[in-house]
Amino acid sequence: MPLHLGAAWYPEHWPETRWGEDVKLMRDAGLTVVRVGEFAWSSLEPREGAFNLGWLERAIALAADHGLAVVIGTPTAAPPAWMTQAYPDVLAVNADGRPATHGTRCHYDVTSERYLAFCRRIAEKLAICFGHDAHVIGWQIDNEYNTVSYSEDARRAFQNWLRQRYGSLDALNAAWATAYWSQTYSDWTQIPLPIQGTHGFGQPHNPALRLKWRQFITEAYRRFQLNQIEVIRANATPSQWITHNFMGFFDGFDHYVLSADLDFASWDQYYPAGHLDFAHDSAGHDLTRGFKRKNFWLIETQPGSVNWAPINSAQDRGETRAAAWNAVAHGAEAVCYWQWRNALNGQEQYHGSLIAPDGDPRPIYAEISRTGREFRQAGHLFDDTSVEASVAVLHSYEDRWALDFQRHHADFDPLQYLVSFYRPLSRRNIAVDVLSTRAMLDGYKLVIAAPHILDEAIANELIRFVEGGGHLVLGVRSGMKTPDNALRPQRQPALLQAIAGAHVEEYYALREPVDIKSMIRSNETGKRPKLLPAGTAHTWAEWLVPRRDTAVLARYGASNGWLDGQAAITMHTHSPSGGTAYMVGAWLDDALQDSLIGWIVAQAGVEPVLPGLPASVHVMRRGQAYILINNAEPKSVTLPWRAKDHLSGKTARRFMLEPWDVVVATRV
């Protein structure tokens, strides 16, 4: 696949006489792809059963004439007014029982059979019309799935789904411990929808019910997506691929499950906080690459600014280009801007775009055009390449849901906890795969996991990994729960106790940080070993009990009496493989976490992509190409060898990187 640069184009927002200026400017900017059609239902089917695809045919032909490939987004995130008026049962119902109002988007009920029939029909019409169009390279189903509906359709479907899953109410009652608070069900129709939180009635719903509801939402979206995939696959040539634009770490459903039916995953990355943060933003790329363990499309990103942040500041000059290259560095096959040109009215008037309402380029157009030239110039370096990582950070939606339902400490944000492991790796320019806790782990040197929900399949793979010589870091709250979100009848980390060589005697939510003294001597090459600095635990601390053959790497200082002097971090080495399991029993402060991860990385023999770069310079490798990206300060970088920069054409060992500068280097 070539490296694509693209934009979301909404020809239906403008008279046809204006389309010519759009596509000409797209071509001049070096765009190679446009996405069309998502949200255009009222233009494609203005009245029930009356289709009007002619304008889209003409728009696609015009784009093709200017050398642009086309991705069609199915319009199903925006059901038209004729439909919601005639069939209000297609509307999503909120937790209070009120149906959505027409006039926004994503207002559909994903469990409505009627809605699915409408979606299937419009997707089929599009596939029949464009499924063999050589200029259409792929399809995006819907747009950013997100709405949850508490309708009667949803209730019935959920109850049926539970019946299929558990087979009998006895099984469900036992797994959910429903005798607790007299929840015992004697009829499937008694099972409620877990109306989030308290809603005036004081207490949340059963954690098993809540977890199953999220899994059900996942299955509902999977069905919704498959409903369209089936008709597209049946009518389109096999070379047209199918994707969906996910939203990074959004946790409304299990993205691993939905990705299974796609050719590849895509995502929409925005920078509402203003600037590119290598650790935070790269984690989203690595996550999306992990959905299918495959490169992805960055199918939407901002051309400068968004319109929905508290302050919609623009990225710095050069930063939009840097962000595009960072996506490529982490496995993007395409970078597409949202959007090409604003509609004159509608909810997103202020959003960044390449073209202003007068049809002329905005200032960002020149920067994006530069990226377009560079993609053409250097894109071939990335053909058939991806990121090669020897570290995996494991991630699970079920764990995040379960932890969020019962944080036990208001600040225990499972996503922030995961990022606390990712950040020290990113800071060291170590390539990371973010993978499902259910992934096979062959080939990794270091795996970082905190599998809160643990079953035998997950445990066995982690055990196999350590027995095979791998280094495993186990975070807090590992091994607490079963797949029904019930407590496991063992101490943490339950099925992993033997491999960890330790167990958790007790856990504590911390109001105040607790001192931690490490016994670890630094292992940086070329430096004299010295004790890693002391630090603190915050938010969460576990009292670890090591086995005799397990080393204690750090202990708690004086705190609540219970934790005083107890083991906080342990290390157990498996013989004969040398595989090692570290239990990190506390959420460590940033500095201690950073030095601990640095130490473990060296123990595991993990190397950075390039050593010795200034802290502000981020580097990733794809194939033979090293992509170096600077942040806001100018920096001089010396590479270990002479290299050619494929963007500037310069060959040297030393490169001067201006703020947000990019070098794409291969060794000469």
Q: What residues are labeled active site?
A: 144, 300
Ramachandran quadrant class, 554 (left: phi over 0; alpha: psi -120 to 50; beta: rest) = beta
- Do 30 and 5 touch, CB atoms closer than 8 A? yes
Matching residue, tokens 């906890």: 417
Please identify which residue in 108, 278, 325, 338 interacts with ligand GAL, judged by CB under 6 A: 338
| Min separation Cβ 352 and ligand GAL, Å | 8
The residue among 337 and 543 lying less far from ligand GAL, judged by its C-beta, is 337
Pattern 368-407, ligand GAL, x by CB under 6 A: ----------------------------------------
CA-CA distance, 473 to 571, in Å (whole number)?
9
- The percent of the chain in helix, strand and coil, each rounded to the nearest 5, is 35, 25, 45
CA-CA distance, 141 to 38, in Å (whole number)?
8
| Min separation Cβ 456 and ligand GAL, Å | 39
Rg of the chain over Cα atoms, rounded to whole angstroms, equals 26
- Say how many residues touch ligand GAL, by CB under 6 A: 9
The residue among 364 and 581 lying less far from ligand GAL, judged by its C-beta, is 364
| Min separation Cβ 167 and ligand GAL, Å | 39
Tokens of 333: 């096959």
Instruction: Using alpha carbons, select from 312, 306, 304, 309 the residue that is nearest to residue 348.
Output: 306
| Min separation Cβ 9 and ligand GAL, Å | 12
- Do 12 and 58 touch, CB atoms closer than 8 A? no
- Do 335 and 367 touch, CB atoms closer than 8 A? no
Question: Parallel, antiparallel, or unpaired: how do β-strands 471-474 and 502-509 relate?
Answer: unpaired
Instruction: Using alpha carbons, select from 126, 158, 157 the residue that is nearest to residue 141.
Output: 126
Neighbour tally for 316: CB within 10 Å: 16
- Do 453 and 487 touch, CB atoms closer than 8 A? no
In 133-180, alpha helices (H): 152-166, 169-176
Tokens of 175: 């797994």
The residue among 343 and 652 lying less far from ligand GAL, judged by its C-beta, is 343
Please identify which residue in 130, 139, 216, 270 interacts with ligand GAL, judged by CB under 6 A: 270
294 DSSP 8-state letter: S
300 contacts ligand GAL (rule: CB under 6 A): yes
Pattern 137-176, ligand GAL, x by CB under 6 A: ------xx--------------------------------
Angle formed by the axes of helices 278-292 and 414-427, to 10°? 110
Instruction: Using alpha carbons, select from 565, 572, 564 the residue that is nearest to residue 603.
Output: 572
- Do 536 and 513 touch, CB atoms closer than 8 A? yes
| Min separation Cβ 327 and ligand GAL, Å | 16
CA-CA distance, 293 to 93, in Å (whole number)?
35
Please identify which residue in 306, 439, 502, 629 interacts with ligand GAL, judged by CB under 6 A: 306
Tokens of 276: 């590119």
The residue among 59 and 625 lying less far from ligand GAL, judged by its C-beta, is 59
The residue among 177 and 343 lying less far from ligand GAL, judged by its C-beta, is 343
| Min separation Cβ 302 and ligand GAL, Å | 6
| Min separation Cβ 591 and ligand GAL, Å | 35
Measured distance between the N- and C-terminal CA atoms of the chain, rounded to whole angstroms: 25
The residue among 348 and 404 lying less far from ligand GAL, judged by its C-beta, is 348
The residue among 143 and 235 lying less far from ligand GAL, judged by its C-beta, is 143
Determine whether 94 is exposed, middle or buried from the number of CB atoms within 10 Å of its CB (0-12, 13-18, 19+): middle
**Nearest 10 degrees: Cα torsion 646, 647, 652, 655:** -140
The residue among 274 and 557 lying less far from ligand GAL, judged by its C-beta, is 274
CA-CA distance, 163 to 642, in Å (whole number)?
64
The residue among 59 and 454 lying less far from ligand GAL, judged by its C-beta, is 59
| Min separation Cβ 524 and ligand GAL, Å | 43
441 DSSP 8-state letter: -
| Min separation Cβ 334 and ligand GAL, Å | 15
Window 339-358: residues binding ligand GAL (CB under 6 A): 348, 351
Window 89-148: residues binding ligand GAL (CB under 6 A): 143-144
**Would you say the C-alpha torsion 640, 643, 648, 654 has a positive or negative sign?**
positive
CA-CA distance, 395 to 251, in Å (whole number)?
11
The residue among 6 and 424 lying less far from ligand GAL, judged by its C-beta, is 6
The residue among 227 and 245 lying less far from ligand GAL, judged by its C-beta, is 245
Tokens of 442: 């062959």
| Min separation Cβ 618 and ligand GAL, Å | 24
| Min separation Cβ 338 and ligand GAL, Å | 5
Neighbour tally for 53: CB within 10 Å: 18
Matching residue, tokens 């498959």: 226
Please identify which residue in 22, 45, 254, 268 interacts with ligand GAL, judged by CB under 6 A: 268
Question: Parallel, antiparallel, or unpaired: how do β-strands 391-395 and 446-449 relate?
Answer: parallel
List residues near ligand GAL by CB under 6 A.
143-144, 268, 270, 300, 306, 338, 348, 351
